[in-house]
Amino acid sequence: MENIHWKVEGMDCTNCALTVRRYLEKEGATAIKVNFVDGDVAFQINGKSTPAQIQKGVEGLGYKVAGNITDNGSVPAKPAINIHLRYTLMCLPFTIVLLLHMFHGVLGWHWLMNPWVQLALCAPVYIIGMGYFGKSAIKSLRNGMPNMNVLIAVGATAAFAYSLIGTLQNLGEDYLFYETAATIITLVFFGNYLESASIQSTQKALNKLAKSQKVVANMIAFDENHQEVIMPVDNADLRSGDLILIKSGEQVPADCKILWGDASINEAIITGESLPVDKHAKDLLIGGSLVVNGTVKAQVTAAASDSALANIVNLVKQAQGEKPPVQQMADKVSAIFVPAVIAIAVLTFIINYWVLHDFTASLMRSIAVLVIACPCALGLATPAAVAVGLGRAARSGVLFRNATSLELFKDISQVVFDKTGTLTTGALTVAAFKIADSNLTEEEFKRIVFSLEKYSNHPIAKSITAAWKMKGDIRWDKIEEVKGLGMKATSKEGDEYIAGSFKVTEGISDDKSHNVYVLKNKSLVGWVDVKDDIRPEAKTVVQYLKAKGIKTYLLSGDSEAKSKAIAGEVGIDEVIAEQTPEQKLAHIERLTKQAPTAMIGDGINDAPALAKATIGISLSDASHIAVQTADVVLMNHGLKNLPLSLGLGKHTFLTIKQNLFWAFCYNIVAIPLAAFGFLSPMFGALVMGLSDVVLAINSGRLFVKKVV
């Protein structure tokens, strides 16, 4: 399978995206994502059609493939001036002069009343307009997916053709509506420019992240005398293993690991947290973060295309291209909108002519219906709000994996927390230990525990191995991690060792108060206790949820006593302790059936439950599988942004509803007004363009709106 990622120009609405999607499906493409908001089109092909053939087909639909979005994330250069603005400026002088004929008496420019002069002024505008709207309209009709350009082309052509007949037959000035045709085309071009500019403003948070991907790096190389040489290179050319020098005030060019030096790092671009974080040798740096103070030498751990920042940008773009359920109704309406408006326009002409017996007035009213109708508003209502919501979330350190999660947040009435690493910091330290086997020395006991726990990703295991790190660990004949229990190993001598939770001591001990129990051949040889600090924001977050009427649960594999102590300290409503991954999954399934439920976890044992919850939420420093399973990732290494993610979800859905209400009401009110002659075609063209701007502005409020 070949992955294709294009930037496609000319997609103005949902119908455009749907047309491209249907064509790609017909060509056998899979994994199709079409986002008309920013022009991104991604899909996979299996060799039946070449990229060149598909590109030719897409351009045959009336769109332009501007270029490939390359592996390093760079996009084709934008033209110096927006195409809609360029056409507006080309048409505007002719249109202004045409409109001056209405003041010919005041200005004394009677020559403007000459029909042949008006034809000469209107013709360039009409040709430019038909080269854009007409060509697009014909191609959309040919493919059975009429777009809004059909309405513009038909309306402008009707006014131009009517005027041309009046000119050729010398029927007088009552038959001259060249200024109507020219004004429609010019104002729609201008409206499209305002719309595209407004849509781009909804992308500003994501564009800021994308821009942060591109930076010049100081690459360390060595000459023939093995002396260091600093070479400036584009960070897109860095590969895993390269050595780089990063100085105070510079941006980290790629994900890397510090080999030498100390620095204070501002990771706000990723985590939303502006306070600098101290980093030392062996610590990881995230590409896109900023060195506030200090100088380090580091080794690149991921190429630009695989960096954390690149993955965030790509995930947000994919999410923006998806449609939440609320958009489905609008899409159905948009699909039949253009044919319905054409039918209304024809009906408007027939009824008005039957009542008024005035061909000119009837024609102008039907043209006004065509021009004022706006299917784009219906198609833009959801994507504009989703783009802003996801963009603000990414800027604030919240990563939504799909757009549906934004909508689902509005219904969440239960939140389930894991304990270790979620409500607590996960920065555990060994508090106490005891050796129950008199034949074991302290050194031997620590070696057994270290040799077992070094293979586990559990936070408790990591804290023990960090505290008791040693050389000469035991080489096991076989070792495995049993989810929900712990580590199990067999030595080369055939002895079985286990380090795990209280469940491994079943029938051996009744003392549930310890964290890790160590067994040799099913006999208890000792235990280890660790202590963990509660996250400073945990209590505030739980209180916020309770204030919103959301019930909270603590679901943990730890002992009931420890779980209840943590729950009591932060104010959680209900505790479900000593649970295996299978039991966690069953509880989440039960709770989700009762009411929409969000689950927050960070470990391997949480992954099944995260996947089963209405919304799975993971922390960025969680295990890889937990992050991959979750719908939402909190990038600030803590719970601080959980209220923000809930608030953004609810307010994004509220904005979508407001946008759809406006889009439906606008068309329901504007079309009848035009049909009854209360709105002229020229005024209709202006209002049509501004209707989309209203949606973009309303969506843009999400950038600054208080959501928590």
| Whether the Cβ atoms of residue 26 and residue 58 lie closer than 8 Å to each other | no
Q: Pick from 415, 412, 413: which is nearest to 649 by CA?
A: 412
Per DSSP, 258 falls in state: E
Cβ within 8 Å of residue 78, ≥6 positions away: none
Angstrom distance (rounded) from CA 217 to CA 230: 10
Beta bridge partners of 298: 244, 258
Between 148-168 and 135-142, two packed helices, what is the crossing angle to 10 degrees? 120
Residues near 618 by Cβ (< 8 Å), separated by ≥ 6?
600, 601, 602, 606, 610, 626, 627, 629, 630, 632, 633, 634
Active site residue 418: yes
User: Minimal CA–CA distance to 38: which of 71, 4, 3, 76?
Assistant: 76
> For the residues of 465-518, what is the DSSP string, one character each?
HHHS--SS----SEEEEETTTEEEEE-TTS-EEEEE-GGGGTTT------SEEE
Task: Give the residues across from 553 on adjacent strands.
Answer: 416, 574
Measure the CA–CA gap between 247 and 211, rounded to whole angstroms. Answer: 20
Query: Cα-flanking dihedrals φ and ψ of residue 248, to 5°?
Result: -60, 135
8 Å CB contact between 235 and 253: yes
Active-site hit among 40, 418, 602, 631? 418
Angle between the 308-321 and 204-211 helix axes, to the nearest 10 degrees? 150
Enclosing H/E stretch for 331: helix 327-356
Report, as residue numbers or ranges, the catalytic residues. 418
